[in-house]
A = this chain, B = another copy of it.
Amino acid sequence: MAATIEPQLLTESTQDYLKAIYELTQAGGGAATSSIADRLSVSPASVTNMVQKLAERQPPLVTYRKHYGVELTNEGRLAALRTVRRHRLIEQFLTHVLGYSWDEVHQEAERLEHAISPLFEERLAILLGEPRFDPHGDPIPDANLTLPDSCALPLYRAAPGQVVRVCRVRNDNPALLRYLDELGLRPGLRVRVISSQPVDYTLQVELVDYDKQVVLGQALGEAVMVEAI
């Protein structure tokens, strides 16, 4: 059982790196220097530099082999999850309490996640009713940093004819989020797949709740995650 490291012992940058590595390795495998650099808008050299420090810390927060990418240690993973919890609680707060729109929350949460105390985190979670998912449908780790299960089927892989429920929307692209918001394609919505083009990943779907048909391109089909009903 690894002791969890209190966030105030980690600098903002450190937390940002851990969170980036966590998110990049969700898909499996190690995170490449250049993809971390991209995500944090930082030069690859800076990443190498920081990653070496993270690996040399006691306890180490990442494992690192030159030229082969980085993975989180258990301590690193827990620290990342703590930041993810804060980020997603704050997103939930921003939409539900302060009336932010979907696409505005990410940036704001990105700064606030580093400024709140453990007490704030706890009180916020209570105020929001210990939510298990944020506004994009991303799972919020609980106070013990356990993640609830969340769906993993991208809409473009759903079988034609099937009716599914949107449970999550990839949130790295504000413009895309705004468009999905316009369509009403939010977590909870039911969708029937009318046709699915395997070659160019174009979809024709019916938004069952609005009785409306729309066509979605590859980016949208990949961004919307669904579960069977």
Contacts and interface: CB of A to CB of B under 8 A. Distances in A.
Interface in A62-105: 94, 97-100, 104
A116 B112 contact: yes
Contacts of A181: none
Interface stretch (A35-43, A117-125, A158-166, A210-218): A117-125
A127 interface: yes
How many protomers of this protein does the assembly include? 2
Contact of A115 (B97, B112, B123, B124): B112
Interface in A102-146: 104, 107-108, 111-112, 114-117, 119-120, 123-124, 127
Contacts of A114: 115
Contacts of A104: 119
Contacts of A111: 115-117
A116 B108 CA distance: 7
21 contacts: A94-B120, A97-B97, A97-B127, A98-B120, A98-B123, A98-B124, A98-B127, A99-B123, A100-B119, A104-B119, A108-B116, A108-B117, A108-B119, A108-B120, A111-B115, A111-B116, A111-B117, A112-B112, A112-B115, A112-B116, A114-B115
Interface of A: 94, 97-100, 104, 107-108, 111-112, 114-117, 119-120, 123-124, 127
